[in-house]
Homo-oligomer: A and B are copies of this chain.
């Protein structure tokens, strides 16, 4: 559409100086006489000139853009994280490219190819799954700036910013156990995610430590959205009263909402008939109308710190040790589990 950009040459011509001089006044990088500075600035104003970022990018071999892969921006866990990345990037003179992967390997490949093409200077990956390992490892090996946020890969040497999944999972499980639950189900999310793996593992461990059974057939993994959780719950709640779970922990708040909706639809009451805990602490579930008990994941902080580390990595050529940050999480007790009152009576 736009066909005639005004370039540094036009400014040089109009101000009757060389392009070098123009560049010097723009970047303030060598002494230029006051009257020429004036002429150049005038020409810039007159012609409404802005230096071309692509040409600059070619010269400096950098785009000043960073990429962010997320599973799906439509899952309310991610917007906050994305916003943090964008804000932190902007502060440092970078802009952010958004890549929804839907946990698809092909999409991860596209994202990393942006790095090779020089389209982005660094990549924040929140979507690392075991099936992406080879792609990611190769990029790290070739020294491209990458940081893994939220999800990581076992035994990988790279910067990571994670949340304390082990604590979160054990805390949630214990909360339920304290409330008297013995048949607890954990809906663990996509396969190959360290987030799911760790939370499920610690859940099972905690159950065993308390002498409680881990039901093999309740070990539900795979895509966990609202729909899947809703369906799984319907199935589970059809089990007879003395066998079915009295509590469900879901790996995400949105999944937990599916659980609740299914139970509600079957005429069950929350928390009396079924206790529910989520993960994430997405804004919406914190409202009084929903009031979901959940494990707060510091999504903003995850994004902010991840972006900061990435940009450091891009700029400081050599940083010989990787940074591995783990952020604290917190159980937010609200209405979907019931609670014991002061005197120890369950309500």
Q: Which residues of chain B are within 8 angstroms of A86 by Cβ–Cβ distance?
A: 73, 98-100
Task: Verify if A324 is at the interface (C-beta below 8 Å from B).
Answer: no
Q: Which residues of chain B are within 8 angstroms of A257 by Cβ–Cβ distance?
A: 284, 287, 289
A80-B74, A96-B97 as given contacts; A119 in contact with B53, CB under 8 Å: yes
Check if A98 sits within 8 Å of B100, measured CB to CB.
no
In the assembled complex, the Cα of A86 lies from the Cα of B73 at a distance in Å of 10
Task: Verify if A196 is at the interface (C-beta below 8 Å from B).
Answer: no
Interface residues on A, range: 35 or more
Residue of B nearest to A65 (CB): B97
Task: Verify if A76 is at the interface (C-beta below 8 Å from B).
Answer: yes
Q: Which residues of chain B are within 8 angstroms of A80 by Cβ–Cβ distance?
A: 74
Residue of B nearest to A87 (CB): B100
Q: Which residues of chain B are within 8 angstroms of A283 by Cβ–Cβ distance?
A: 74, 226
The residues in A between 106 and 162 inclusive whose CB is less than 8 angstroms from any CB of B are 110, 113-114, 116-119, 122, 142-145
Check if B284 sits within 8 Å of A261, measured CB to CB.
no
In the assembled complex, the Cα of A129 lies from the Cα of B76 at a distance in Å of 26
Task: Verify if A55 is at the interface (C-beta below 8 Å from B).
Answer: yes
In the assembled complex, the Cα of A72 lies from the Cα of B283 at a distance in Å of 14
Most B C-beta atoms less than 10 A away, residue of A63, A113, A119, A283: A119
Task: Verify if A334 is at the interface (C-beta below 8 Å from B).
Answer: no
- Cross-interface CB contact of A114 among B76, B95, B114, B119, cutoff 8 Å: B95
| 26 cross-chain CB contacts under 8 A | A1-B122, A1-B313, A1-B314, A1-B317, A2-B143, A50-B117, A52-B58, A54-B61, A57-B57, A58-B58, A72-B83, A73-B83, A74-B80, A86-B98, A86-B100, A95-B119, A226-B287, A254-B284, A257-B284, A257-B289, A260-B288, A261-B287, A264-B289, A265-B288, A289-B289, A290-B290
The 3 closest A-B pairs by CB, nearest first: A53-B117, A50-B116, A261-B288
A-side residues, CB < 8 A to B, are: 1-3, 5, 48, 50-55, 57-58, 61, 63, 65, 72-74, 76, 78-80, 82-83, 86-87, 90, 95-100, 110, 113-114, 116-119, 122, 142-145, 226, 254, 257, 260-261, 264-265, 283-284, 287-290, 313-314, 317
